[in-house]
Amino acid sequence: MMKVECTRLPSGLTVVTEQMPHLESVALGVWIKSGSRNETLGEHGIAHLLEHMAFKGTARRTARQIAEEIENVGGEVNAATSTETTSYYARVLKDHVPLAVDILADILTESVFDEEELRREKHVILQEIGAADDTPDDVVFDRFAETAYRNQTVGRPILGTPDTVMSFSADQIRQYLGRNYTTDRMFVVAAGAVEHDAFVRQVEERFSSLPRTPLATPVLEAARYTGGESRETRDLMDAQVLLGFEGKAYHARDFYCSQILANILGGGMSSRLFQEVREHRGLCYSVYAFHWGFSDTGIFGVHAATGGENLPELMPVIVDELRKSSMNIEQQEIERARAQIRAQLLMGQESPAARAGQIARQMMLYGRPIPNEELMERLSGITIERLTDLAGRLFFDTTPTLSAIGPLEQLAPMNDILSSLTGKATVPHAVAS
């Protein structure tokens, strides 16, 4: 029987475990309620740079020693930066949990940010930015977020720009660290063959030097959805197109309803968009819908990848499917979406890494682990009437966001798309290149 246990240390740090007794390994990590959105205007990309620099040497270990010590026991360690969170995580056999805790604590409390390592890592990130710019399906999502939340940190690319990345000093990284990596914003989570009390003792001993209060007030600018369009014509084989709308924040009443609606419209091979756009009409090789939630906002979108010659027919079909969802949804579609979400939850429990990440997200968002039964109960209250009402508000009451890259000569003007959605045309702020 799997059991979630939670302990809040006197320092303010929260430790959560889920014992999975049939396993021989443990997935563990530190999740910080801070990401690229917590950067100041002049810190674009510094959250991601910090994540890289954490592995580049501490007072006790060189960068090579960090890598070798974890891999000497067959383990792995990595990190990730998102808009609102950053995570540092490891996977090891159960006997090596103390080593993993020690390494994670070391990189988060004793990193030295050596100038030579910083210089090298900046160039590594420049290559990462270049690779992203060469990948159209990455670019179209970056432009999508920038357009939906124009001139705001929540819409900025996580990697930063070459100019901002090259400008950062070790002191600036320390300032961001001191402002955001405090015990009230950090959660240490483990899932797998872990014993809670022993893990708590290890964490309490090794993370005792973490600051309880920030050096300066953390930054979090309230999000303002703007919408608009961004087009970039490139000589590519395919066009990448994203059409989006203002969605719902994690705590909003319609958050789970939005997840179900995204699943019905474009959550799999049986979804409306896949069946109509790809299977029936053959207008693209990829089409799906998604809903991103943030702490105070959200965004609902449809992504399609197709040849430029299909755009004149593709966009009206997508818009028509959105319109139909505001008029009619079948109970069978709701049940299918619920079944898919339930399966994802249960399958996630078979992976200690997935489970640790899920628990960490729940702790950051809701302050407690959410049982699967409670999640399914929230989904059970979603009705046809709620979904059609939500679709009407999402697709007709907010300014759309359009992001497109590739051969766009035949992509309809934004006014035409807007007219087909709302019956009236206005000209949102546009960027084209």
CA 185 to chain CA mean position, Å: 17
Q: Which residues are catalytic?
A: 51
